[in-house]
Structure 1
């Protein structure tokens, strides 16, 4: 257990941290650059007036697929990102080229 991990229940460093479920701060959403890309997809979907279900239909996927990547429960791979961007009339290369370089901390 890392020094910064605390028990959710009692706040002690001696207890094991409790699982709190997946949220937007889980593995897929830790990188701000990834959150920006997903936020762009969400904004484009809403701006196009599409529900999650309507976008899922365009992608031949279930609505839960869209919900899960939008909330960070599921991480997109490159091919999925390209398919979603094109379905939303976004140039995937232009979207990715706008991503800032990784921090060197």
Structure 2
């Protein structure tokens, strides 16, 4: 299996998550609290140090109010979020 950390798609996913968090007016600490995690968890996600699993992605989509399916479709087509 190909390593995914640092790939164009992984970078695009991170950019999407940061964009959606900021659009929601949340800090990393705010999002972490909503997830029941520490701020460092969100920092590791956003810095590309850890992968986002599917369940986490769905939870993030719910909390940040974006369509997970549309985001996945955009990432699968071009590697860049809409």
Q: Normalised by the size of structure 1, how large is the TM-score?
A: 0.66
- Tell me how many residue pairs correspond in the alignment: 76
Aligned counterpart for 1:50 among listed residues 11, 20, 26 = 26
Structure holding more helix per residue: 2
Considering only CA atoms, is the larger Rg found in Structure 1 or Structure 2?
Answer: 1
Q: Which runs of 4+ in 1 moved over 4 A?
A: none
Gaps of 5+ in 2: none
Do the aligned residues in 1 keep the contact of 2:28 with 2:42 (CA within 8 Å)?
Answer: yes
Q: Which has the higher contact order (CA 8 A, sep 6+)?
A: 2
Matched, 1:72 2:48: yes
RMSD of aligned Cα (Å): 1.9
Shift in alpha-carbon separation, 1:84–1:36, aligned structure 2, 3 A: same
Q: Unaligned stretches of 5+ in structure 1?
A: 1-25
Normalised TM-score (structure 2)? 0.82
